[in-house]
Amino acid sequence: MSAGSPDRTSVANADVCVVGAGPAGALVADRLTADRDVVVLDAGPRFDPDDRLARQERAIRPGYDRPDVWDVGGERDAHASSGERFYPLNHARVKGVGGSTLHWQGMVMRLHEADFDSETERGVGADWPIDYADLRPYYAEAERELGVAGASDNPYAPPREEPHPMPAFEPSYSDSLFAEACEELGIDMHSVPNARNSEPYDDRSACVGYGTCQPVCPAGAKYDATVHVDRAEGEGATVIDRAPVQRLEHDADRVTAAVYATPDGTEHRQEADAFVVACGGVETARLLLLSESDRYPDGLANSSGTVGRFFMDHLFAGVGGTLDEPTRQNHVGFYTSACDQFYDEADAETAPFKLEFFNYAGPSPVEEALTGDDWGDELLGRLRDGYGTHVAMGGLVEQLPRADSYVGLDPDRTDDHGNPVPDIHWSIDDRALRTIERANEIQRSILEELGAEIEWVAGPDATGPAYHHMGTTRMSADPDGGVVDADCRTHDLDNCWIASSSVFPTSGAMNPTLTIAALALRVADDVERRL
């Protein structure tokens, strides 16, 4: 160990080793630390909270791409994209303590009841081996842990037992414009749950309106997983950063050690009684594939052959334009109203989808000011012309799990440790594409009712991923049908759990993080029970 470097050696007699310090790993660690010796390994660094304003500046300045904000990229994060559609993986993740919650938008909806029974209720997809009722108490707990601002005014939301921990953010001025149009069309608007403090909560400040929620909240009002990592460390957990796990050593039915590398070029073995893999929907599958052995020649925990298969993301559908009046956009970086009215109309032909009313349509003047060859009065004139009358709607659409949409290993390229990089082979089903058109149709009708001149449509050809990686170690009661059982424990290995959206058999169309958090809390309870 060189002077000044933290101790990254392994911990003796650990009860639990958690791989990944994103929201799932952080919640598992926090919940188990009181009674167990817990070690958390993360591939990326600890980020200094004092650097957040500088990271915000990177987010605003044109000289930096989105991955630069949180130092993503380079050999460590090399990847391939071999599917029908390019997948911009390094725009879609952050590696480090806090994980992708460092750059997320912070929207936290519960899945609907039918999302857990897609095959039964909608005739497509795969049923989860658990129901909404199984997860319901964990959803409530996850809302308290993350700190969710919300209201009970959404008639389409699944049943809940208590109010959200914080009041919802009030609707925006532009929401009031949308409301008039929606009323004419018989379309319901309602509040939306935000993992963002509408008032001081859990020793974190209320939102102060920086407007750069995605990719960085300098105020700490938006939840990120450093909250639970810090708490777990305060209670005695050991967190080792810059410690990418290379492989999981194992015998026939147990993981015995996580082998990780450190910046000084050495490898260490972290042994533990239980292992929780919480590396997200891409790296979780990759780690299992990298851990192949004579016993598991196709990858660890892969007797079903489903590791890496069924990769899903949510698809964006949107329409935007301008009005002939001010719309007051870009004061905040989050949205305050949504429409789930059409979600449960889903069937075999149409996917579930939700609609969002943006508060950040059109260009941000400060970002616009930093591009172009003008300045002085000419620049101000351009900014005034470009700002003030935009409106836009977004939406997320479910894609079905398909075996030909997968995360594999690229045999031709390796990362900074010589391991094959992940290959994202992303394919989208026709039902999802049709549903994007359906969402566009509703969005267009609302904007037309508003009197907007429509300037862009993100339809089936222009859609992109919402950066929600799901499905690659699916949950199944049948060991031949998935990687983990209903408790998120791998079918093959008795002491290995997966806490991640990678276990989602079918994704629904709601942002996944609240479900990830609820599952993580449930995993922690199961680990505790079995230790």
Binding of another protein at residue 1 (CB under 8 A)? no
Cα(5)–Cα(38) distance, integer angstroms: 21
Binding of another protein at residue 77 (CB under 8 A)? yes
Helix residue ranges, H only, 34-129: 52-60, 66-69, 118-122
Q: How far is the CB of 467 from another protein (least distance, A)?
A: 18
Q: Which is nearer to another protein, 153 or 251 (CB)?
A: 153
Binding of another protein at residue 267 (CB under 8 A)? no
Binding of another protein at residue 91 (CB under 8 A)? no
The sign of the torsion formed by the CA atoms of 331, 98, 27, 77 equals: positive
Q: Which residues, including other chains, have CB under 8 Å from residue 430's CB and lie 6 or more apart?
A: none
Binding of another protein at residue 73 (CB under 8 A)? yes
Helix residue ranges, H only, 210-253: 226-234
Decide if 531 contacts 15 (C-beta within 8 A). yes
Binding of another protein at residue 95 (CB under 8 A)? yes
Q: Which is nearer to another protein, 132 or 360 (CB)?
A: 360
Q: Which is nearer to another protein, 47 or 343 (CB)?
A: 47
Q: Which is nearer to another protein, 127 or 241 (CB)?
A: 241
Binding of another protein at residue 451 (CB under 8 A)? no
Select from 307, 306, 412, 317 the least CA-distant residue to 355.
317
Cα(396)–Cα(501) distance, integer angstroms: 16
Per-residue tokens: 363: 């260009």
Residues that contact another protein, how many (by CB under 8 A): 71
Cα(26)–Cα(280) distance, integer angstroms: 12
Q: Which is nearer to another protein, 323 or 486 (CB)?
A: 323
Q: How far is the CB of 320 from another protein (least distance, A)?
A: 18
Query: Can you give the length of the chain in residues?
Result: 531
Map residues 329-348 to x or -, x wherever contact with another protein holds by CB under 8 A.
-xxxx--x------------
411 half-sphere exposure, CB direction, 13 A CA radius: 0
Q: Which 184-223 positions form the footprint of another protein (CB under 8 A)?
A: 198, 206-212, 218-219
Q: Which 145-174 positions form the footprint of another protein (CB under 8 A)?
A: 169-173
139 half-sphere exposure, CB direction, 13 A CA radius: 23
Q: Which is nearer to another protein, 327 or 490 (CB)?
A: 327
Cα(139)–Cα(514) distance, integer angstroms: 7
Angle (CA) 283-287-293 rounded to 5° is 160
Q: Angle 513-530/23-33 helices, nearest 10 degrees?
A: 30
Cα(18)–Cα(238) distance, integer angstroms: 10
What do you get for the CA distance between the two ends of the chain, in Å?
33
Stretch that binds another protein, among 97-105, 150-158, 322-330, 441-449 (CB under 8 A): 322-330
Q: How far is the CB of 375 from another protein (least distance, A)?
A: 4
Q: Which 271-310 positions form the footprint of another protein (CB under 8 A)?
A: none
Angle (CA) 300-42-414 rounded to 5° is 60
> Which of 60, 151, 179, 486 is close enough to bind another protein by CB under 8 A?
60
Q: Which is nearer to another protein, 31 or 390 (CB)?
A: 390
Binding of another protein at residue 72 (CB under 8 A)? yes
With H, G, I as helix, E, B as strand and everything else as coil, classify residue 357: strand
> Which of 23, 25, 44, 459 is close enough to bind another protein by CB under 8 A?
44
Q: How far is the CB of 359 from another protein (least distance, A)?
A: 6
Q: Which is nearer to another protein, 389 or 507 (CB)?
A: 389
Q: How far is CA 257 from the centre of its chain?
A: 27
Stretch that binds another protein, among 16-24, 111-119, 250-258, 375-383 (CB under 8 A): 375-383
Binding of another protein at residue 98 (CB under 8 A)? no
Binding of another protein at residue 48 (CB under 8 A)? yes
Decide if 244 contacts 261 (C-beta within 8 A). yes
> Is beta strand 390-397 parallel, antiparallel or unpaired with respect to 16-19?
unpaired
Q: Which is nearer to another protein, 62 or 236 (CB)?
A: 62
Q: How far is CA 248 from the centre of its chain?
A: 24
Binding of another protein at residue 75 (CB under 8 A)? yes
> Which of 161, 324, 377, 461 is close enough to bind another protein by CB under 8 A?
377
Decide if 391 contacts 272 (C-beta within 8 A). no
453 half-sphere exposure, CB direction, 13 A CA radius: 5
What is the Cα Rg of the chain in Å? Answer: 23
Q: How far is the CB of 58 from another protein (least distance, A)?
A: 7
DSSP-assigned letter for residue 203 = T
Q: How far is the CB of 49 from another protein (least distance, A)?
A: 10
Other beta carbons less than 10 A from residue 25's beta carbon = 31
Q: How far is the CB of 380 from another protein (least distance, A)?
A: 4
Cα(94)–Cα(97) distance, integer angstroms: 9
Q: Which is nearer to another protein, 84 or 374 (CB)?
A: 374
Map residues 455-494 to x or -, x wherever contact with another protein holds by CB under 8 A.
----------------------------------------
Q: How far is the CB of 470 from another protein (least distance, A)?
A: 24
Binding of another protein at residue 266 (CB under 8 A)? no
Binding of another protein at residue 323 (CB under 8 A)? no
Cα(397)–Cα(402) distance, integer angstroms: 15
> Which of 184, 267, 325, 441 is close enough to bind another protein by CB under 8 A?
325
> Which of 36, 55, 204, 491 is close enough to bind another protein by CB under 8 A?
55
Select from 280, 243, 274 the least CA-distant residue to 259.
243
Q: Which is nearer to another protein, 95 or 250 (CB)?
A: 95
Stretch that binds another protein, among 47-55, 110-118, 435-443, 463-471 (CB under 8 A): 47-55
> Which of 291, 337, 364, 405 is close enough to bind another protein by CB under 8 A?
364
